[in-house]
A and B are shown apart, each in its own frame.
Chain A
């Protein structure tokens, strides 16, 4: 790993962690209680940024996988792996924080809410992505298969989206990405975006390190070092 990469990664991880700590302080002490939901609503500052970060990661995996299938460039595959692990981690944060909040507000751990359902299915697709990588013996084949899983998974998103939309909707509507501008009060929005900035920096920092590790792992060994059997004829 280059020194520059190391410094970038380290800087991103430390500033990400620091920002997340600040955002936690804001979440706990600074931002006021939401009027109807009370203190419970504060989970929102973890849940929503985690979801957004996961979707960034998912986007990177899908894009990098498509590039890998097209150009067979090792760097694209390394980027897909690095981002895929981020998608799993931030997806797990979202999937754990969502039901915790839902239990208190909706009085149930699992609601068939379209975006939550879609996220769960995507999360399993990425679980499958890593299962394919880990279980296909030929490394070249494993990379191609995994890239295909990522591409097919994202191509299917529109149809899954339609299904889960029609299935049921209980989730609060968008409060930030609203066409008429954010409806969220300013201090809540600031807390939310601070947390998100922290998550994204942490993700990019981890991504930088993970990418470098992947690249190192793939450096070819000296010729035929894995050779077995020197038996004659």
Chain B
């Protein structure tokens, strides 16, 4: 059977569990909304305009929320030992990785949308620039975050350090995403021409495609014994 179909089944299963359990999703959403709220208190807006810092804060909130969520991606799999049985079906390891990454990506999209709304609202960013351009920057960035989170979430699940391990492993890797993502988003906020942004977006796509491929290729080393 088509491995893509198997990956899709895993995505659907994960999303169904995600929305039925709710815990991880609610925690991530509460985090991004409250973070935007707190940033408004933390900034002296007689000194800094919200629009100047919104891009940096948006990407950091996305990074923190997706990292915090990554530690929980495999919770339902391990709770009753279901993952062992999933791995014992003929499904290929890249398909497992792709399926779970896709589900994680949907969750990160939700969180990103709410983070965007909360930051622009609380920081009073009136001119947001083109929403299509924002989406074009955020799409490859979130794919990179989702793939990296799924991959290392599997690792942290087996570590006694748990989620505290994740930032040490993922932050150094995610420097390109944060750098190219935040600078591009900042330029979209400032309504700069797309030619000033497209180079960075290409590099974000390079990271997104690279992390999905490398993750799919190496995932079996995180599952098979």
Residues of B within 8 A of A5 (CB): none
CA distance in complex: A155, B155 (Å): 18
A149 within 8 A of B: yes
Give every chain A residue within 8 A of B169 (Cβ-Cβ): 125, 128, 131-132, 149
> Which secondary structure dominates where chain A touches chain B?
helix
Given contacts A141-B158, A145-B222, A159-B210, contact A131 B175 (CB under 8 A): no
Q: Which of A138, A141, A156 contacts B173 (CB 8 A)?
A: A156
Q: How many A residues are at the interface, by size bracket?
A: 20 to 34
| Complex contact B207–A69 (CB within 8 A) | no
Q: Report the separation of the CA atoms of residues A160 and B210 in the bound assembly, to the nearest whole angstrom.
A: 13
Residue of B nearest to A138 (CB): B158
Q: Let me know if B159 and A144 touch, CB within 8 A.
A: no
- Report the minimal beta-carbon distance from A110 to chain B, rounded to whole angstroms: 15
Asked if A159 and B155 sit within 8 Å, CB to CB, the answer is: no
Contact of A141 among B151, B171, B225 (CB under 8 A): B225
Q: In whole angstroms, what is the CA distance A187 to B214 when docked?
A: 46
Report whether B175 and A135 are in contact in the complex, using a CB–CB cutoff of 8 Å.
Answer: no
What are the residues of chain A within 8 A of B82 when measuring CB–CB?
Answer: none
Q: Closest approach, in angstroms, between the C-beta of A205 and any C-beta of chain B?
A: 29
Shortest C-beta distance, B73 to chain A (Å), equals 16
**Docked-complex contact B160 and A135, CB < 8 angstroms:** yes
CB within 8 Å: A-B pair count? 84
Which of A69, A124, A136 interacts with B172 by CB under 8 Å?
A: A124
Q: Quick check: is A153 within 8 A (CB to CB) of the other chain?
A: yes
Q: Mark A114-134, 1 if CB is under 8 A from B, else 0.
A: 000000011011011001100
Residue tally, chain B, CB below 8 Å to A = 25
B221 A159 Cβ-Cβ under 8 A: no
Collect the chain B residues with CB atoms within 8 Å of residue A145's CB.
155, 158-159, 221-222
Selected from B172, B176, B210, the residue in CB contact (under 8 A) with A128 is B172
Residues of chain A from 132 to 168 with CB closer than 8 A to chain B in the complex: 132, 135-138, 140-141, 144-145, 147-149, 151-153, 155-156, 159-160, 162-164, 166-167
Query: Residue B161 contacts which of A131, A144, A159 (CB distance < 8 angstroms)?
Result: A131
7 examples of A-B residue contacts, CB within 8 angstroms: A69-B221, A122-B172, A131-B168, A132-B169, A138-B158, A145-B221, A145-B222
Task: Please give the residue numbers on chain A whose beta carbons come within 8 Å of chain B beta carbons, in ascending order.
Answer: 69, 121-122, 124-125, 127-128, 131-132, 135-138, 140-141, 144-145, 147-149, 151-153, 155-156, 159-160, 162-164, 166-167
Known contacts A69-B221, A156-B173, A163-B175; 18 further A-B pairs (Cβ under 8 A): A124-B172, A128-B168, A131-B161, A132-B155, A132-B165, A136-B155, A136-B158, A144-B222, A145-B222, A151-B218, A152-B173, A153-B173, A155-B214, A159-B176, A162-B176, A163-B180, A163-B203, A167-B179
Q: Spell out B's residues near A (CB within 8 Å).
A: 151, 155, 158-161, 165, 168-169, 171-173, 175-176, 179-180, 203, 206-207, 210, 214, 218, 221-222, 225
